[in-house]
Amino acid sequence: MSETTIYLSLGTNLGDRHVQLSKGLAELQKAGIQLVKRSGIYETEPMDVFDQPWFLNMVVESTTTLEPLGLLDVCKQVEIECGRVPSTWHGPRHMDIDILLYAEREIASERLTIPHPQMRERRFVLIPLLEIAPELVDPVTQQPYAKILERLDEGKKVFSSQINES
């Protein structure tokens, strides 16, 4: 099978967050996902469950030979290897990996929806995505993600992270 360009979002708010992101990236590479570009790291305010530490988030452009559901399985396994355990929806976690885009494909199944169903509403996803792919267009709406971000004000703070963690 040929390689497909994908975009993944990684986030963490437990433990040494920079180490967690590095470990997640390393585990993805061990699973055969080739990193092409990575955004900077952004510190972001939690959503929905506010009594928890802020997140570090980033987006990576990668290539894979995995089919979408196989990629989902790898992402879930990497989350577990990074210490994720079942918890509250939008609650604290050691690692969260979302498949944002799988080439220009649209997928809607019980297990997986691509493009990621909430990505158009999340500054913490769109800002790092546009950092590495500024011309990217949503395959569903045919709108540039830059235009979607311009209209978005969900009220959540997103800062470029220069934090050194202990």
- Is 153 assigned a catalytic role? no
Q: Which residue among the candidates 17, 38, 84, 123 is catalytic per the annotation?
A: 84
CA-based end-to-end distance of the chain: 42
Q: Which of 98, 120, 122, 123 is catalytic?
A: 98
Residue 93 a catalytic site member: yes
Query: Rounded to whole angstroms, how far apart are CA atoms 37 and 17?
Result: 20
Q: Whats the size of the chain, residue-wise?
A: 166
What residues contact 22, with CB distance under 8 A and at least 6 apart? none
CA angle 165/14/64 to nearest 5° reads 95
Please give the helix or strand (H or E) that residue 138 lies within, else none. Answer: none
**48 in catalytic set:** no
Alpha carbon distance 18, 78 (integer Å) = 16
Residue among 38, 93, 120, 122 flagged as catalytic: 93
Give me the catalytic one of 38, 96, 122, 123.
96
SS3 (DSSP) at 158: strand
123 is catalytic: no
The residues assigned a catalytic role are: 84, 93, 96, 98
